[in-house]
Amino acid sequence: MIALDILFYTAGDNAAAWIDAVSKALPEARIHLWSGAPVESARYALVWKPPPELVWELGKTKAVFNLGAGVDALANEPKLPRHVPLVRLEDAGMAKQMAEYVTYAILRRYREFDAYAEQQSRAVWRPRSRLVKRDFAVGILGMGVLGCSVAAALAPFDFALRGWSRTVKTVAAVESYAGRAGLDAFLGGCRVLVCLLPLTPDTRGLLNHETLSRLPQGAYVVNVSRGGLLVEGHLRALIDHGHLSGAMLDVFQDEPLAPTHPFWHHPKISVTPHVSAVTLIDESVAQIANKIRRLEAGLPITGIVDPQRMY
């Protein structure tokens, strides 16, 4: 029998928790925590943001499992061997978290809680006229697993929902747009824009001055996908000049966000530290273990990253 050797590396500080979960889910496996020396026997690799010197070794494995939904950090690595399948996490508890975060962001904006917080700071008691819900369209940029989960969570609140994706998608209660040809029409009707696209060469910098200007006057932006999709200076300029009313951002071009970054103290921008949907270790490991067992049995698996699309 071929030994089930697994090479493990994470740039995070939770390696012990991951290794414990993998040991329980795959008790027959021998787990090798990478420390700089080659692991010739590794059959699979479980990694998060591996250093370049480790990326070379991944070519010796049968499959590489990325310990997160976003694969841009690894898929963009030129040294990554293309003959080895790169496998991403599929949901693993993240869809519900994302739906919670985005629903909060939408309701906070629709019910104008920021405005009431500002009034409280001045001891002002002034009820505001309710916004007209039919004029408060929510646009979801990216209708994958997370986008569809967000749409399902928002549907009971009766917001007008719009969705944009690379190809046409049919989703209940969502007006669908697709491709570059449909992007302007999609953006033009969004009172709130929620970005859930993966970061690829086609989407990097997609939210720039030109595209953000297509949003209606007073629109609001929520970015919970990847910071590289948004040109931060362009967003700030459109807010400062009054075209956009504000933003809630969970992801940034450079993380952690520098203490001197202007977003920290901008009165119309809310910042959270990349927490909209954190990776749940037990759920993720259960998914990975199931896929490893399928591969060992010669069965197909889902979640293999297309190197052209990078998701």
Per-residue pLDDT tens over the stretch 220-274: 999 999 999 999 999 999 999 999 999 999 999 999 999 999 999 999 999 999 9
Q: Higher model confidence: residue 69 or residue 145? A: 145
Alpha carbon distances (Å) from 160 to 90, 101, 108, 227, 293: 27, 19, 16, 26, 43
Strand bridging mode 44-48 / 86-87: unpaired
Residue 41 CB-half CA count within 13 A: 10
Annotation: CATH topology of 5-92+279-296: Rossmann fold (3.40.50)
Per the CB < 8 A criterion, the answer to whether 200 and 310 are in contact is: yes
The two tokens of residue 192 are 């709130």
Among 71-80, 108-117, 205-214, the range scoring the smallest mean pLDDT is 71-80
Range in 10-24, 35-49, 116-130 with the lowest mean pLDDT: 35-49
Q: Is 1 a residue whose pLDDT tops 50?
A: no
pLDDT (tens digit, 9 = 90+) per residue, 181-225? 999 999 999 999 999 999 998 999 999 999 999 999 999 999 999
Q: Could you tell me which of 271, 275, 268 has the C-alpha nearest to residue 114?
A: 268
Q: What proportion of the chain, given as a percentage, has pLDDT over 90?
A: 84
Burial 58-76 (b: 16+ CB within 10 A, else e): bebbebbbbbbbbbbbbbe
d(CA 260, CA 266): 12
Annotated catalytic sites, by residue?
Answer: 226, 274
Q: Where exactly does CATH 3.40.50.720 map onto the chain?
A: 5-92+279-296, 94-271
Give the pLDDT of residue 2.
62
Residue 29's closest CA among 296, 258, 280?
296
Strand arrangement of the beta sheet that strand 161-165 belongs to: 174-178, 161-165, 138-141, 192-195, 219-223, 244-249, 269-271
268-309 pLDDT, tens per residue?
A: 999 999 999 999 999 999 999 999 999 999 999 999 998 777
Q: How far apart are CA 42 and CA 44, in angstroms?
A: 6
Is the pLDDT reported for residue 88 higher than 60?
A: yes
Output the six-digit token pair for 280: 């749940």
pLDDT for 251? 98
On the 0-12 / 13-18 / 19+ scale of CB atoms within 10 A, 284 is: buried
Lowest-confidence range among 12-21, 85-94, 175-184, 286-295?
A: 85-94
The whole-number pLDDT of residue 73 equals: 73
**Beta-ladder partners of 38:** none
pLDDT at 38 (0 to 100): 76
Model pLDDT for residues 35-50, shown as the tens digit of each residue: 887 778 899 999 999 9
**Higher-confidence residue: 105 or 306?**
105
Pick the CATH number of 94-271 from 3.30.750.24, 1.25.40.20, 3.40.50.720, 1.10.10.10: 3.40.50.720
Is the per-residue pLDDT at 118 higher than 80?
Answer: yes
Peptide bond between residue 307 and the one before it cis (omega within 30 degrees of 0)? no
